[in-house]
Amino acid sequence: MLHHYEAPVEDLLFTMREVAGLHDVLALPAFDMCDEALVQAVLEQAARFASDALAPLNRSGDREGARLDGAEVRMPAGFQAAYASYVEAGWGGLAADPEYGGQGLPRLLWTAVQEMWKAANLGFSALPQLTLGAVEALMAHADEALRQRFLPRLVSGHWTGAMALTEPQAGSDLSAIGALATPHADGSWRLVGQKCFITYADHDLAENVVTLVLARTPGAPAGVKGLTLFLVPKWLVDDDGRLGARNDVRYHSLEHKLGFHAGPTGILNFGDAGGAVAYRVGALHNGLPAMFVMMNDARFSVGLEGVGLADRAWQQARAYAHERVQGRSAGSPASVPIVQHPDVRRMLLTMKALTEAMRAFAAVLASARDLGSAHPDAGECARQQRQVDFLTPVFKGWCTETGVVVANLGIQVHGGMGVVEETGAAQYLRDARAATLYEGTTGIQAADFVGRKLARDQGQAAHAVLAQMRDTVDVLGGIAAPAFATLQRDLRRAVEALANATDSALAQHARQPAAALAVSVPLLELWGTVIGGWLLAHGACRAHALRQDPSRPQRYGAAFLDAKVATARFYGAHLLSRATGLADIVCEGAAACLDDAATL
């Protein structure tokens, strides 16, 4: 049972319904065709696919890895059959526009499903994620001819997507991009350049790969304002959608990475034989905003890697802790399963509480994305979208860092077996580790958060979230059960520390931007930590209400609801306790960081 994955369907449904407003999302006209019964049915089918088709390939995919055979990528055994089933079942089009063959279901549902793919098999999961990102970017910026030619096959999953931004000299700083596209007589372009850290730009699971590439054009302005977005197919596609010749784009090499072995990542060469055929996506010199549609989706999805891997690590650690008999507990003469030892409980509850908190954050953000794109009221759309913009860097940064923390604890629960690769726990740490780097490091997320998301509206979006947190503090105060008194105290203390730290960061940013940047990651961690506690507390209030009211439908088990309260209380005592210390760093730590005497 150690390597089994069982999707957390009950907790996903609880979180979507009770914390993330599934009802409000389903009430949107765009989702007329969807109801709660369909949501539950999709989750249950996805859970089976994740457990039965994807999870069994996770360790073998890690061991075998993707490899370069000449210039072609060969995927690990079993991935072809799994991907074929994935396409056949129509999973790829779940959240895509029905006009291009998608099912148009809410992102809130797609997010829950994507968590399962991440947890079951991270290496596999990046392929549908990149494809949906490419679909979104093309939907937002490509002209109709390009959409008609590429979208239906991408939505169905017969073709897949990739994105290519980074170059050796242009990582966090895209202004240094040097790849060059020149116009061709037939209206297409020819692209020459080298990109690095490019994932799934070639593989043998689908008929074609469509890579979106940021490049310069002749005479374009310097910096990011001279970048244009291009579409480069692996195989050329004629006007009727038939595949033609192999395009001039190939992997030069694949990286030997710490984790994520099943996913191919490497250096991608464009134009070794003269120039890759490329099609412009959107307006000239508007590449960065166009690419950011895909990038923001990717940031959300990479944040989900933290959630999924944390859940998988927690499931395995829990199974091991029930199985492994070692040591006596106080007062017991015989050896006991280690789950009975208080410190093992502490580790497991930390893993569980952080995982459920991240899951709730993902659901709330996904729900805001649905409301922000599909609400009939334009003002509400804009309000939700501001919340999405504000929270996305926190979600990406905090969930990926927390994924590493949880996977690390998972190893610890296994004792010495934790570092034996066959156990499987180490793979989750290796797989989780890259997520804090790709699609913008945690430092880049924090700089975006403090410099743009927080400062640009002078903290308005921040205070809107803080007000919602204070509402939850008030609701907690109205519940008489003893767990809620300590949870209220813990959450109130944390929220007030967060409010102070946020105001302090704003003031520092106005006075000395470098000071705000020096404490930006602690501020991001603080926001993530308190959001997690707030949403678990909100869920605990709902769980308590459902438990008390005999007239409510008995959707959830009594032990499940009691555990939601207990987990929130644990989060309050063991995780929210970090908040005041993080706030102290934000308020007082910049000077020590920028002190010239601290030589490096």
Chain residues 319-358 in contact with a second copy, contact rule CB under 8 A: 321-322, 325-330, 335, 339, 341-349, 352
Phi, psi of 276 (to 5 degrees): -80, 135
Measured between alpha carbons, how far is 359 from 11 in angstroms, rounded to an integer?
A: 9
Containing 183, the helix (H) or strand (E) segment is strand 180-183
In this structure, are residues 131 and 161 in contact, taking their beta carbons and an 8 Å threshold? yes
By the rule CB under 8 A, 537 interacts with a second copy: no
Measured between alpha carbons, how far is 159 from 243 in angstroms, rounded to an integer?
A: 11
Measured between alpha carbons, how far is 177 from 195 in angstroms, rounded to an integer?
A: 9
By the rule CB under 8 A, 592 interacts with a second copy: yes
Size of the chain, expressed as the number of residues it contains: 600
Residue of 439, 496, 525, 588 marked active site? 439
Active site residue 439: yes
By the rule CB under 8 A, 570 interacts with a second copy: yes
Closer of 179 and 497 to a second copy (Cβ):
497
The minimum distance between CB 378 and a second copy, in angstroms, equals 36
| From 38, 97, 415, 464, residue interacting with a second copy (rule: CB under 8 A) | 415
Token code pair at residue 508: 């520092």
Closer of 80 and 340 to a second copy (Cβ):
340
Site map (CB under 8 A) of a second copy, residues 144-173, x = contact: ----------------------x--x-xxx
Token code pair at residue 424: 């499987």
Task: Indicate the DSSP class of residue 186.
Answer: T
Measured between alpha carbons, how far is 34 from 164 in angstroms, rounded to an integer?
A: 35
By the rule CB under 8 A, 595 interacts with a second copy: yes
**Which of 102-110, 295-303, 472-480, 584-592 is the region at the interface with a second copy (rule: CB under 8 A)?**
584-592
In this structure, are residues 164 and 214 in contact, taking their beta carbons and an 8 Å threshold? yes
The minimum distance between CB 20 and a second copy, in angstroms, equals 23
**Which of 142-150, 154-162, 290-298, 566-574 is the region at the interface with a second copy (rule: CB under 8 A)?**
566-574
By the rule CB under 8 A, 383 interacts with a second copy: no
Measured between alpha carbons, how far is 437 from 162 in angstroms, rounded to an integer?
A: 17
The minimum distance between CB 16 and a second copy, in angstroms, equals 21
**Which of 36-44, 47-55, 314-322, 459-467 is the region at the interface with a second copy (rule: CB under 8 A)?**
314-322
By the rule CB under 8 A, 589 interacts with a second copy: yes
**Which of 140-148, 200-208, 224-232, 514-522 is the region at the interface with a second copy (rule: CB under 8 A)?**
514-522
Measured between alpha carbons, how far is 301 from 397 in angstroms, rounded to an integer?
A: 12
Site for a second copy in 182-211 (CB under 8 A): 196-197
Q: How many CB atoms lie within 10 A of CB 523?
A: 27
Provide the β-strand partners of residue 229: 214, 281
Site map (CB under 8 A) of a second copy, residues 543-562, x = contact: ----------------x--x
Residue listed under structure tokens 């602690």: 522
| From 104, 259, 403, 532, residue interacting with a second copy (rule: CB under 8 A) | 259
**CA contacts within 13 A on the Cβ side of 174:** 22
Token code pair at residue 493: 């203390």
> Considering only CA atoms, which of 464, 463, 472 is closest in space to residue 492?
472
Closer of 116 and 413 to a second copy (Cβ):
413
By the rule CB under 8 A, 491 interacts with a second copy: no
In this structure, are residues 365 and 377 in contact, taking their beta carbons and an 8 Å threshold? no
The minimum distance between CB 84 and a second copy, in angstroms, equals 30
**Count of residues touching a second copy (by CB under 8 A):** 101
Site for a second copy in 515-534 (CB under 8 A): 515, 517-522
Residues with catalytic annotation?
A: 439
